[in-house]
Amino acid sequence: MLDDLNDRQREAAETIDGPVLIFAGAGSGKTRALTYRIAHMVREKGIAPEHILAVTFTNKAANEMKERITRLIGDDARRLWAGTFHSICSRLLRRYGEEIGIAPNFVIYDEADQTALIKQAVSIADIDSQAYTPTRIRWAISSGKNELLDPQDYARARKGPFDEIVARVYSRYQQALRENNALDFDDLLVKAVELLRSRPKVLAALQERLRYVLVDEYQDINYAQYELVKLLSARERNICVVGDDDQSIYGWRGANVGLILSFQADNPNTRVIKLEQNYRSTQKILDCAHAVIRVNEDRAEKRLWTENGAGDNLVVYEAVNEEEEAAYVAGVVARQVRNSGTRYADYAVLYRANAMSRNLESAMREKGIPYEVVGGMSFYDRGEIKDLAAYLKLIYNLDDSISLRRIINKPARNIGEGTVSRLTQLAHSEGVTLFEACRLAGEESDLRKAQKEAVLHFYSMIRRLHEDAAAMSVSGIVKAVLERSGYTDALQASGKADDADRVDTLGELVTDAVKYEQSADEPSLGGFLERLALLSDLDKAEDLGSSVSLMTVHASKGLEFPIVFIVGMEEGIFPHERSMGDQFELAEERRLFYVALTRAQRMVYMSHARGRTIYGSPHGMIPSRFLKDLPPESIDCKFDADSPLMPRMFGDEEAAVRERTVLAGGIDITDVLRRARENSAAAAAQRQEPQTPPAQPSGGETVPEPTEAGKRKPAGATRKKAARSPAKQKKAASVQPLGTGTKVVHEDFGEGIVVSVDEKGDEPAVTVAFVAKGIKKILANHPKLKVRR
DNA sequence: GGACACAAACTTTTT
DNA sequence: GTTTGTGTCC
């Protein structure tokens, strides 16, 4: 059975007892080794599948593993327990939660629900919500939970005024969760650990059953998850963890790489196995990846190798701006699919942040390339889906006030904010749930008649749905909600195109419910809700059959594609600006880049833009520092020779040329640069200003010459003012000392450099080459134009 | 109470 | 460039 494996993989598959640590490099056949390992355990070693627990990071990975094991050993695979940490914990808590005071019909709160709850807690605690945003507080609470700190622990460990506030909100927040009979994502882990720690009988029962524990992606584990695994495997100590510290990219979410690196020390007699043969990529791709990752310190030493052959040089493309970058990507894809027999599905475009998909999408559309955005704003994040989910959650658990608030006036039924806050007061004074308050308010309260009726009507609709649900199928409940709530009717009546789409989306959810009924062992509303809460779009994406995949680098982990584009290779984007101040975060960015590179089988195209629009306004961009670590001999540097080349805005031009020379693999491209610049200056002269002399290079020695106007008025003071309130400066004639070569910045066009000065008109004008937006002629004292530094 | 218009604030990455 | 919050009007 194990003949299909290489020596290391076989060793991994055969080592069953005791602690095992497998370092599995990218593309090293990890899943193969793991599935064979489990198959070997069941078939050769006679271990019952129900004694095996396999924990993964995503549902998709869990399903894939199950499927592949099924192929090896057949239906016995159904008996093994494979799932994500969150789904496993959720199941444990449904089964045993009552032992620690958690009712089995708890609902799972997502981020939006959490934030809503924190907002309430903040408003009750009378905290300045401007300085302490709910999101920041949610973040802090979540980090606390990842470390298994309860509100008291958190208060004790506080360092600084922010933590003080967080500690207060945290304890209120937990109380509110209890009142709503709800758990948030992190609670699933925290409460599961609490259960195992405080109920020895439950723990013993689980240990009896789960004798072999296997954890995938161990580098992404956080403290709570670590503790959980430790508890479950404490008796038999048959714990096998698999991971790659070089691919640890979830530190920001509490994952602790240290836990994989210290596994050996924690578990005496650990067998360490390294899978270093790569079956995915070409040698050149691996060379580049290694050159990038070796810069990091504190990593377990390992190096991937392959028998796949050298392959082609990787490409670094310099784009003018993000639009041109996207057009380049789409152009390469279109050309190759036309000429070289590749399919759209062979391509993936990876980016650092979701917001960057926009340009790529429009470029793809323009060229008629089918594409699919994976992750990001997902199906389950859409407003109408969340509305419907809120109905279902409320019907399932009448205590859920967050869901109630969300849908009490959706569609509009004349229950506004005022009414809701009165209901809240009533709930408080009577000591009942918000839902009960709806009933009381209908009977006697100071509400107006119309409101009373509306509230009472809402109450009885929900109550009846709640009662009827017991005897209905899940899809039946979904349909009943859509009908009885008037939600679909309202959308159809609005007549807007968007609303028609929403009706379709809701239809998809009905389909989803039907599918769920067919596939689940014991379909229930609770089970469906759990799916809704814990399933992400990534798990859904299976049918990428015929389109280019667009996704974040994070979302690409675990996937592979013949040809990969990595866009936005610029300082501030990748590495991301918010990580640049911290060396640990920078190391994580580097690992992220490593992950991106190692997704590719045959070819990688990296691109950076000289200019890019970042929330609204344009910026000049410097190529990512990571590009400099790539081995020149494995890289081809390209750019569009026809595009106008602007002098670089940052640093001196010499350095820019040198950098480019390096990127070009040692070829001196100074000449190309010079010619391109002359072309652009000539073009500028032709377009804008026939009489102007050609633009001068922005050498460091060029001293800005003050214009006539500039001499008349010292500009220093006005410039400062202009910086503060540019709009008001229109009349103040803030004439600036602009000469050829002066670096300027414009509110709308971003950074640029003065190419020529025209003083013939009533007011002096300048021609400016903008990094991102090209050449423009502007009045020298235009309020939106400022001198850089 | 609800619809609309405008300003401001801000964006990593996600089970 | 987008979402979220605020203010005005009906």
Cβ-defined contacts of A435-441 (< 8 Å, 24+): A435/A394, A435/A398, A435/A399, A435/A401, A435/A404, A435/A459, A435/A462, A438/A408
Q: List active site positions of A.
A: 30-31, 216-217, 247, 599
* Alpha carbons A250 and A257: distance in angstroms, whole number: 9
Does strand B come within 7 Å of the CB of A263?
A: no
Distance A454 CA to C10 C1' (A): 22
**Contact flag, residue A172 CB and nucleic strand B, below 7 A:** no
Nucleotide nearest to A134 (CA to C1'): C4
pLDDT value, residue A323: 87
> Quick one: which residue's CA is nearest to B12's C1'?
A353
Total count of residues recorded for chain A: 789
Which nucleotide across the nucleic acid strands is nearest to A417, CA versus C1'? B1
Name which residue leads in pLDDT, A126 or A667: A126
Report the amino acid identity of residue A563.
I
Nucleotide nearest to A130 (CA to C1'): B9
Nucleotide showing the shortest C1' distance to residue A615 CA: C1
Please calculate the CA angle A97-A108-A219 and round it to the nearest 5 degrees. Answer: 85
- How many angstroms separate the CA of A185 from the C1' of C5? 27
- Distance separating alpha carbons of residues A719 and A726, to the nearest angstrom: 9
Predicted pLDDT of residue A601: 96
* Maximal CA-CA distance, chain A: 94
pLDDT band at residue A318 using 50, 70 and 90 as cut-offs: confident
Q: What is the DSSP string of A186-238?
A: HHHHHHHHHHHHH-HHHHHHHHHH--EEEESSGGG--HHHHHHHHHHHTTT--
How far: A44 CA to B10 C1' (Å)?
57
Range from A69-78, A219-228, A472-481, A759-768 carrying the lowest mean pLDDT: A759-768
- For the CA of A342 and the C1' of C6, the distance in angstroms is 53
Task: In whole angstroms, give the CA distance from residue A750 to residue A735.
Answer: 19
| CB A142 under 7 Å to nucleic chain C | no
Instruction: Let me know: does A606 contact A286? Beta carbons within 8 Å.
Output: no
Residue A757 is predicted with a pLDDT of: 66
Give the DSSP H or E segment for A296.
none
Distance A615 CA to B8 C1' (A): 13
**Residue A436: CA atoms inside 13 Å, Cβ hemisphere, count?**
11
Asked whether strand B has any atom less than 7 Å from the CB of A578, the reply is yes
**Stated pTM of the model:** 0.81
- Residue range A557-594, pLDDT digits in tens: 989 999 999 999 998 899 998 888 888 889 999 999 99
- What tens digit of pLDDT does each residue of A143-161 get? 899 999 999 998 888 777 7
Query: For A341-396, how does the pLDDT look when each residue is reduced to its tens digit (9 = 90+)?
Result: 899 999 999 999 988 988 899 899 889 999 888 876 667 778 888 889 999 999 99
Distance, CA of A499 to C1' of B5, in Å: 21
Does the pLDDT of residue A758 top 70, yes or no? no
- Residue A538, pLDDT > 80, answer no
User: Residue A349's closest CA among A317, A378, A320?
Assistant: A317
Tens of pLDDT, residue by residue over A155-181, are 888 777 778 888 888 988 999 899 999
Q: Is A776 helix (H, G, I), strand (E, B) or coil?
A: strand
Structure tokens belonging to residue A37: 């390992």
Return the residue matching tokens 């070693």.
A45
Please calculate the CA angle A580-A585-A588 and round it to the nearest 5 degrees: 120
Whether the CB of A419 is less than 7 Å away from nucleic strand B comes out as yes
Which of A66-70, A654-658, A708-712, A716-720 has the highest average model confidence (pLDDT)?
A66-70
Is residue A773 scored above 80 in pLDDT?
A: no
Distance A134 CA to B4 C1' (A): 27
- Protein A23 CA to nucleic acid B6 C1', in Å? 55
**Which residue has the least CA–C1' distance to nucleotide B11?**
A355
Per the CB < 8 A criterion, the answer to whether A781 and A733 are in contact is yes
pLDDT tens for residues A282-291?
A: 999 999 999 9
Cα distance between residue A513 and residue A3, in whole Å: 42
Tell me which residue of A784, A687, A686, A684 sits closest to A740, measured CA to CA. Answer: A684
**Which of A772, A765, A764, A731 is CA-nearest to residue A748?**
A772
How large is the average pLDDT for residues A467-485?
A: 93
pLDDT at A760 over 80: no
* Residue whose Cα is closest to the C1' of B1: A416
Nucleotide nearest to A534 (CA to C1'): B15
In chain A, positions 517-576 with C-beta closer than 7 Å to nucleic chain B are: 534, 536, 538, 552, 554-555, 576
A222 strand B contact, CB < 7 Å: no
What distance in Å separates the CA atoms of residue A433 and residue A462, rounded to the nearest whole number? 14
CA distances from A273 to A7, A11, A33, A399 (A): 10, 8, 11, 50
A146 touches strand B (CB under 7 A): no
Determine whether the distance from the CB of A350 to the nearest atom of strand B is below 7 Å: no
Q: Residue A680 CA to C6 C1' — how many Å?
A: 47
- Find the helix or strand (DSSP H, E) in which A766 lies: strand A765-770
The closest nt to A355, taking CA to C1', is B11
Q: Where are the alpha helices (DSSP H) in A44-160?
A: 59-73, 85-96, 111-124, 134-146, 151-157
Q: Is the CB of A241 under 7 A from strand B?
A: no
Strand C nucleotides in reach of protein CB atoms, 7 A cut-off: 1-2
* CA A614 / C1′ C4 distance in Å: 19
Q: Which of A309-318, A534-543, A608-617 is the least confident region?
A: A534-543
A85 beta carbon to strand B: under 7 Å = yes
How many helices and strands, by DSSP H and E, does chain A display?
32, 24
**Which of A83-97, A475-489, A687-701 is predicted with the least confidence, judged by mean pLDDT?**
A687-701
Q: How much of chain A exceeds pLDDT 70, in percent?
A: 81
Protein residue at shortest CA distance from C1' of C2: A615
User: In this structure, is the CB of residue A58 within 7 Å of any atom belonging to strand B?
Assistant: yes
Q: pLDDT band for position A650 (50/70/90)?
A: very low
Query: pLDDT for A713-731, tens place per residue?
Result: 233 222 222 332 333 333 2
Question: b/e string for A510-546 if b means 16 or more Cβ within 10 A?
Answer: bebbbebbeeeeebebbbbbbbbbbbbbbbbbeebee
Name the band, by pLDDT with cuts 50, 70 and 90, for residue A739. Answer: low
DSSP label at residue A411: S
**Does residue A616 approach strand C to less than 7 Å at its CB?**
yes
Closest protein residue to B14 (Cα–C1'): A253
Would the CA dihedral through A350, A352, A355, A360 be positive or negative?
negative
User: Average pLDDT for residues A503-520, to the nearest whole number?
Assistant: 87
Q: Which three-class secondary structure state does DSSP give residue A604?
A: strand
pLDDT digits (tens, 9 = 90+) for A433-449: 999 988 888 776 677 78
Residue A358: CB less than 7 A from any atom in strand C: yes
| Spatial distance between the Cα atoms of A643 and A12, rounded to a whole number of angstroms | 53
Contact in structure between A209 and A428 (CB atoms under 8 Å): no
CB of A489 closer than 8 Å to CB of A449:
no
> What pLDDT, on a 0 to 100 scale, did the predictor assign at position A636?
79
**A565-CA/C2-C1' distance, Å:** 26
| Closest nucleotide over all strands to A359 (CA to C1') | C1
User: How many CA atoms does the CB half-sphere of A772 hold within 13 Å?
Assistant: 25
Q: A128: Cβ under 7 Å from strand C?
A: no
pLDDT recorded at residue A660: 46
Amino acid identity, position A423 = L
Tokens for A432?
Answer: 């009942």
Amino acid identity for residue A370 in this structure? P
- Report pLDDT for A639: 63
Phi first, then psi: give them for residue A677, nearest 5 degrees.
-70, -40
Q: Residue A666: exposed, middle, or buried by beta-carbon count in 10 A (0-12, 13-18, 19+)?
A: exposed
Instruction: Name the nucleotide nearest A358; use CA and C1'.
Output: C1
A355 CB-to-strand B distance under 7 Å: yes
Nearest nucleotide to the CA of A614, by C1', is: C1
Nucleotide nearest to A577 (CA to C1'): B12
Q: Which of A87-91, A129-133, A241-245, A421-425 has the lowest mean pLDDT?
A: A129-133
- The proportion of chain A whose per-residue pLDDT surpasses 90, expressed as a percent, equals 40
> Starting from the edge strand earliest in sequence, which strands make up the sheet with A743-746, in order?
A774-779, A765-770, A750-758, A743-746, A785-787
Report the pLDDT value the prediction gives residue A772, as an integer from 0 to 100: 64
Q: Is the CB of A591 under 7 A from strand B?
A: no
Residue A585 CA to its chain's centroid (Å): 15
CA of A133 to C1' of C4 (A): 13
- Of A739 and A483, more confident: A483
Residues A91-128: tens digit of each pLDDT = 999 999 999 999 999 999 988 888 888 888 777 666 66
The nucleotide whose C1' lies nearest the CA of A574 is B12
Measured from the Cβ of residue A386, the count of other Cβ atoms closer than 10 Å reads 19
User: Is the shortest CB-to-strand distance from A418 to strand B under 7 Å?
Assistant: yes
Report chain B positions within 7 A of protein CB atoms: 1-3, 9-15
Phi then psi dihedrals of residue A101, to 5 deg: 80, 25
Mean pLDDT computed over every residue of chain A: 81
Distance CA A552 to C1' B12 in A: 10
Is A330 in a helix, a strand, or coil? helix
CB-based contact A23:A275 (threshold 8 Å): yes
